[in-house]
C-alpha cells in the first residue's frame, strides 16, 4: 500500500515588527540584549507583577536575581508573591536561596525572620533562623535592627533565651549599643541570672542570687565600656561607609572608597581584632562595592597572607568564583589573578588555561590578557605555540589603533627574548612559522606596524631604539666597520623618514618656516598635479627596493622629541660634523624657540631664576624632576608610556631638549659643561639599554 502524503498549503507567518511589540516584549528584548540594564529590569518586573501570572513572575524574578543577587528587597517581593499564591514551601525556598546568595545582608535575614513570625511558623524554626543569622551578621555595625527583632521575639516566649542574647550584644560593637544596654538593665528581672553566667563567673558563684546579680551587672558594665572603646575607634569609619551599606548600580564616591581602604588597614593592623571580624568586614564591603575588583583582590590577599584554617584554598577559590561568575564577569584583573592562583597554588593547569581563554573571549583586545596567554602557552605548552598564537592575535587586531602598536612592540620583545628557541628550522614546523633571523623578522614587524599606523609616536620611538640597540650590538660584538657604517646609515634613514626629511628640503608635513612655507604653498597651488606625480614616483622607487612604504604623520610637537634625539645621535655615532651642523641649522629654522609654535611661552614664563633655585623640583613651571642633571632650561619632554603589564618593553628614556633663548654670556660655559655631561649620560644609557633590550620581559 502506497502512503499518500499531503502538503499543507503554505501560509506566510506574520512577523511582529518592533512597533507592534507589547511593552512587556519590548522590555524583555532590551534586558536580554543587555542583561545589565537595571532600570529596564525594574520596569519589566512592574509590568509583569500587574498580570499576577505566577509563571511570568517566577521567570522575571529568577533571571533578574541571577544578574543582581544583592537586591535584597526583590528577594522578599519574590517570596511574597509565592506565598500570596499559597506556595508556602516555595516562599521559604526563595528566602533560603536569598540568604545563600547574600549571607552578609542584615536586611535579608531580617526579612526572612519577619516573614516566619508574621506567618506563625513554629517557634523552634524561627529561633533556628535567628541563630543562623546572628552567627553570620550579628557583628555587623548596623545589625541592631536584627538584634532588636530577635529580642522582641524572645520576650514573647515563656522559655526565652534573652540571657545569651544580651551576653553577645554587650560584647559586640553596634551602632546603637547604648540603647541595648538600657534595655538589658530594664529587663534584668525577666532574665534568669544563672543562665547569664560565663565559665569564669561560675567559679565565683556563691549561690546567693543578690550577690550573683550584682557580680553579673558589674561585669556587664565592664563589657559595655570595653565595647564602647572599640566603637569609638571605628565610628569615624562607620559614619562614612554606612551612608551606602546597600547594593546599587550607581558608582560609589571616592571619599567612601578611600574610607573603606583606611578601615581595612586599621582592622588588619589592630591586634585586638579577630580574623573573623576582618572577614565579615570584607563581606559587608562587598555588598555595596561588589563591582570594585580592588576590594575582592584585597580580601583575597588578606586570606592568602593571614588566614589560618584547613579550608584556606577552598575559601579563596570560592571568593574568586563568586567575583568572576557573578559581579566581575568582564574585569580582566580579577580573572588574571584567579588563573594565576589556580595554576600556582592549586596546580590545575587545565582550569587556569580555561579561565584565561574565557576572559580573552570576552575581552579580545585586552593587551594584558593577550600577554598573559602568551606567557601561559610559552610556560606550559611551547614557545612555538606561543608564537603562533601571538601572530594570530596580531593579524586579527590590525585595525585596532589602540591595541595594535603596543601589541606589535610586545611581539618583538617576545621574539628577542626567545631568540634561541625561535630562530632556525624546527622539526614539524610550518614553513610560514619558520624564523631565519629574529632581528630581521622584528624589523619587518616594525615596518608593517608603522605602515599601518604612521602617526604612532610609540612605534617610531621604538623603531629608533631598536635600530640603535642593533648598532650597539654590532659595536660590542665582532661586527666589521662596514656593518657599523651600514647600521648608522640605516638609523639615519629611520630618523629622516620619521621627521619627513630628504636630502634637499624639510617637508615637515608640508610646513617649512614661515617665509619658505609661503613660497611652497604658492608653488603647491600651481603645481598640485606635479607634486602628486613626484610622490607616486617616490613610492614606486621604494616598492622597487622591496621596502615597506613608510610615511610619517607625527605632529610638530611629537617630532620635536625625535629631532633632539637625532641631533644627539649624530654627535655620538656619526663623524660627519658638517652634516650635524646642517641638521642643527634645519632644526633651529623649524624650532627657533626650541619648541613648536603651539607650545611657545611668554618671556616671563621662560625667564630663568638664579642658580640658587636650580635644586628645586619646578621653576616657573619648567619641570626638572630628577630625570637628568641638566640645567633648568632642559625639561623632560616625553617618557615612553609603559605597557599594560608594566614590563617596560620600552625603557623609560626621558627625551630632553634645550629651550632656545637668549641668555647672558656667563651662562654659555656652564651650558657647554652640562651638554658634555649629558652626552656621557646618554652613552651610558644606551649601553645599559642594550643590556636589557634583548633580555627577558616576563615571558
Q: Tell me which DSSP letter residue 435 carries.
A: B
What pLDDT, on the 0 to 100 scale, is given for residue 360?
98
How many CB atoms are located within 10 Å of the residue 526 CB? 9
Dihedral angle of Cα 21, 27, 31, 37, to the nearest 10 degrees: 140
pLDDT in the model for residue 620: 33
**For 379-388, how does the pLDDT look when each residue is reduced to its tens digit (9 = 90+)?**
999 999 999 9
pLDDT value at 472 more than 80: yes
**pLDDT score of 478:** 67
**C-alpha–C-alpha distance, residues 162 and 154, integer Å:** 6
The mean pLDDT of the chain is: 80
pLDDT value at 235 more than 50: yes
pLDDT score of 602 more than 90: no
pLDDT given for residue 529 in this prediction:
55
| Beta pairing partners, 622 | 619
- pLDDT tens readout for residues 449-471: 999 999 999 999 999 999 999 99
Judge whether residue 76 has pLDDT over 50.
yes
User: Contact, 175 vs 238, CB < 8 A?
Assistant: yes
| Tally of CB atoms within 10 A around 222 | 11
Burial class (CB in 10 A: 0-12, 13-18, 19+), 585: exposed
C-beta separation of 96 from 113 below 8 A = no
The answer to whether 428 and 379 have CB atoms below 8 angstroms apart is no
Q: Do 20-205 and 246-363 fold alike per CATH?
A: yes
Domains of the chain by residue range: 20-205, 246-363
φ, ψ at 656 (rounded to 5°):
-120, 155
Mean pLDDT of 20-42: 93
Is the pLDDT reported for residue 442 higher than 70? yes
Query: Looking at residues 242-258, what average pLDDT do you find?
Result: 93
Percent composition of the chain: helix, strand, coil (DSSP 3-state, to 5): 65, 5, 30
Portion of the chain with pLDDT greater than 70, in percent? 73
> What pLDDT is attached to residue 332?
97
**CA dist., res. 313 & res. 283, Å (int):** 17
SS3 622: strand
More confident residue, 495 or 11: 495
Range in 33-37, 73-77, 592-596 with the lowest mean pLDDT: 592-596
Q: Is the pLDDT of residue 49 over 90?
A: yes
Contact present, 523 and 512 (Cβ < 8 Å)? no
Grid coordinates representing 456 are 604612532
Pairing of strands 634-638, 618-619: unpaired
| 635 bridge partner residues | 657
* Segment 671-685 mean pLDDT: 48
Give the number of other CB atoms < 10 A from CB of residue 667: 14
Residue scoring higher pLDDT (624 or 20): 20
Output the pLDDT for position 431: 53
Q: 38-42, 284-288, 428-432, 493-497: lowest mean pLDDT where?
A: 428-432
- Residues 354 and 318: beta-carbon distance below 8 Å: no
Give whole-number Cα distances, 498 to 101, 448, 544, 582, in Å: 58, 15, 21, 18
Beta-carbon contacts of 535 under 8 Å, excluding residues fewer than 6 positions away, are none
What is the per-residue pLDDT for 192? 83
Which run of H or of E encompasses 655?
strand 655-658
pTM, whole model, 2 decimals? 0.74
Closest CA to 146 of 159, 156, 131, 160: 131
Assign 618 a pLDDT band (cuts: 50, 70, 90). very low
Q: What is the CA radius of gyration of the chain?
A: 36
The pLDDT tens digits for 397-410 are 999 999 999 999 99
Average pLDDT over residues 57-66: 96
pLDDT of residue 206: 64
Residues 368/332, Cβ–Cβ less than 8 Å: yes
Cell of 39: 532600570
Q: How large a percentage of the chain has pLDDT more than 90?
A: 60
pLDDT tier for residue 213 given thresholds of 50, 70 and 90: confident
Grid coordinates representing 189 are: 528581672
Mean pLDDT in residue range 52-56: 96
Quick one: average pLDDT of 405-433? 79
Residues pairing with 386 in the sheet: none
Distance CA 25, CA 33 (A): 12
pLDDT at 293 over 80: yes
Q: What is the pLDDT of residue 476?
A: 87
Q: Write the pLDDT tens digit of every residue in 167-206.
A: 999 999 999 999 999 999 998 888 888 888 888 888 776 6
Residue 539 has pLDDT above 70, yes or no: no
4 is written with which cell numbers?
Answer: 499518500
CA 472 to each of CA 458, 488, 640, 684, 687: distance values in angstroms, whole numbers, following the listed order: 21, 10, 20, 11, 7
Higher pLDDT, 692 or 144: 144
Residue whose cell numbers read 602598536 = 405
**Are 257 and 293 a contacting pair, CB within 8 Å?**
no
CA distance 622 to 650: 25
- Rounded to an integer, what distance in angstroms lies between the CA atom of residue 254 and that of residue 274? 28
Contacts of 471-479 with CB under 8 Å at 24 or more apart are 471/573, 472/686, 472/687, 472/689, 472/690, 473/690, 473/694, 476/690
**Which of 308-312, 467-471, 631-635 comes out lowest in average pLDDT?**
631-635
Best CATH choice for the domain 246-363 from the list 3.40.50.2300, 3.40.640.10, 1.25.40.10, 3.40.190.10: 1.25.40.10
pLDDT at 1 over 50: no
The pLDDT of residue 215 is 86
More confident residue, 275 or 17: 275
* 320-332 burial: b if 16+ Cβ within 10 Å, else e: bebbbeebbeebb
User: What are residue 171's phi and psi, to 5 degrees?
Assistant: -105, 5
Q: Which fold has domain 20-205?
A: 1.25.40
Amino acid at each position: 500500500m502506497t502512503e499518500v502524503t499531503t502538503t499543507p498549503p503554505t501560509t506566510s507567518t506574520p512577523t511582529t515588527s518592533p512597533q507592534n511589540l507589547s511593552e512587556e516584549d519590548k522590555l524583555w528584548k532590551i534586558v536580554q540584549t543587555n542583561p545589565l540594564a537595571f532600570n529596564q529590569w525594574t520596569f519589566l518586573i512592574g509590568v509583569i507583577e500587574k498580570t499576577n501570572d505566577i509563571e511570568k513572575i517566577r521567570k522575571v524574578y529568577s533571571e533578574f536575581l541571577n544578574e543582581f543577587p544583592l537586591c535584597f528587597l526583590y528577594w522578599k517581593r519574590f517570596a511574597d508573591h509565592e506565598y500570596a499564591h499559597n506556595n508556602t514551601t516555595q516562599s521559604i525556598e526563595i528566602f533560603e536561596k536569598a540568604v545563600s546568595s547574600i549571607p552578609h545582608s542584615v536586611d535579608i535575614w531580617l526579612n526572612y525572620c519577619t516573614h516566619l513570625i508574621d506567618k506563625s511558623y513554629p517557634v523552634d524554626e524561627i529561633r533556628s533562623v535567628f541563630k543562623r543569622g546572628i552567627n553570620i551578621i550579628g557583628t555587623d555595625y548596623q545589625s541592631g535592627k536584627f538584634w532588636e527583632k530577635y529580642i522582641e521575639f524572645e520576650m514573647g516566649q515563656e522559655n526565652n533565651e534573652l540571657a545569651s542574647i544580651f551576653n553577645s550584644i554587650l560584647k559586640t560593637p553596634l551602632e546603637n549599643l547604648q540603647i541595648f544596654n538600657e534595655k538589658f538593665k530594664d529587663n534584668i528581672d525577666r532574665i534568669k541570672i544563672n543562665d547569664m553566667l560565663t565559665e569564669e563567673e561560675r567559679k565565683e558563684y556563691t549561690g546567693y542570687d543578690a550577690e550573683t546579680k550584682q557580680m553579673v551587672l558589674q561585669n556587664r558594665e565592664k563589657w559595655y565600656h570595653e565595647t564602647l572603646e572599640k566603637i569609638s575607634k571605628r565610628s569615624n569609619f562607620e559614619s562614612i561607609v554606612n551612608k551606602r551599606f546597600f547594593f546599587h548600580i550607581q558608582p560609589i564616591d571616592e571619599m567612601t572608597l578611600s574610607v573603606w581602604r583606611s578601615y581595612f588597614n586599621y582592622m588588619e593592623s589592630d591586634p585586638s581584632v579577630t580574623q573573623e571580624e576582618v572577614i565579615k568586614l570584607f563581606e559587608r564591603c562587598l555588598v555595596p562595592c561588589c563591582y570594585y575588583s580592588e576590594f575582592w583582590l584585597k580580601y583575597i590577599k588578606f586570606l592568602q597572607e593571614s588566614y589560618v584554617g584547613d579550608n584556606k584554598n577552598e575559601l579563596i577559590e570560592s571568593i574568586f568564583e563568586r567575583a568572576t561568575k557573578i559581579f566581575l564577569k568582564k574585569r580582566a584583573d580579577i580573572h588574571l589573578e584567579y588563573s594565576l592562583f589556580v595554576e600556582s597554588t592549586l596546580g590545575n593547569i587545565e582550569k587556569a588555561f580555561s579561565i584565561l581563554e574565557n576572559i580573552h573571549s570576552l575581552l579580545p583586545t585586552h593587551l594584558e590578557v593577550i600577554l598573559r596567554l602568551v606567557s601561559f602557552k610559552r610556560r606550559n605548552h611551547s614557545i612555538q605555540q606561543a608564537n603562533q598564537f601571538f601572530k594570530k592575535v596580531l593579524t586579527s587586531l590590525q585595525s585596532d589603533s589602540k591595541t595594535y602598536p603596543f601589541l606589535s612592540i610586545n611581539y618583538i620583545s617576545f621574539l628577542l627574548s626567545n631568540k634561541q628557541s625561535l630562530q632556525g628550522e624546527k622539526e614539524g614546523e610550518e614553513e610560514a612559522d619558520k624564523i631565519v633571523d629574529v632581528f630581521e623578522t622584528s624589523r619587518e614587524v616594525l615596518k608593517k606596524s608603522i605602515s599601518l599606523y604612521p602617526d604612532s609616536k610609540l612605534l617610531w620611538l621604538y623603531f629608533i631604539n631598536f635600530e640603535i640597540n642593533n648598532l650597539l650590538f654590532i659595536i660590542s660584538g665582532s661586527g666589521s666597520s662596514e656593518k657599523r657604517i651600514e647600521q648608522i646609515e640605516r638609523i639615519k634613514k629611520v630618523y629622516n623618514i620619521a621627521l619627513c626629511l630628504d636630502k634637499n628640503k624639510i617637508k615637515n608635513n608640508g610646513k617649512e618656516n614661515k617665509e619658505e612655507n609661503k613660497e611652497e604653498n604658492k608653488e603647491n597651488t600651481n603645481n598640485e598635479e606635479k607634486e602628486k606625480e613626484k610622490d607616486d614616483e617616490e613610492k614606486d622607487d621604494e616598492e622597487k627596493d622591496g621596502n615597506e612604504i613608510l610615511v610619517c604623520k607625527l605632529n610638530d610637537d611629537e617630532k620635536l622629541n625625535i629631532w633632539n634625539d637625532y641631533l644627539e645621535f649624530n654627535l655620538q655615532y656619526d663623524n660627519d660634523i658638517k652634516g650635524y651642523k646642517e641638521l642643527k641649522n634645519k632644526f633651529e629654522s623649524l624650532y627657533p624657540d626650541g619648541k613648536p609654535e603651539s607650545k611657545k611661552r611668554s618671556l616671563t614664563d621662560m625667564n630663568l631664576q638664579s642658580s640658587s633655585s636650580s635644586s628645586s623640583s619646578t621653576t616657573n613651571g619648567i619641570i626638572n624632576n630628577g630625570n637628568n642633571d641638566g640645567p633648568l632650561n632642559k625639561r623632560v619632554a616625553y617618557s615612553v608610556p609603559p605597557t599594560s603589564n608594566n614590563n617596560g618593553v620600552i625603557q623609560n628614556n626621558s627625551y630632553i631638549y634645550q629651550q632656545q633663548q637668549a641668555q647672558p654670556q656667563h651662562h654659555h660655559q656652564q651650558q657647554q659643561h652640562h651638554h658634555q655631561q649629558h652626552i656621557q649620560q646618554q652613552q651610558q644609557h644606551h649601553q645599559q639599554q642594550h643590556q636589557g633590550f634583548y633580555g627577558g620581559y616576563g615571558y
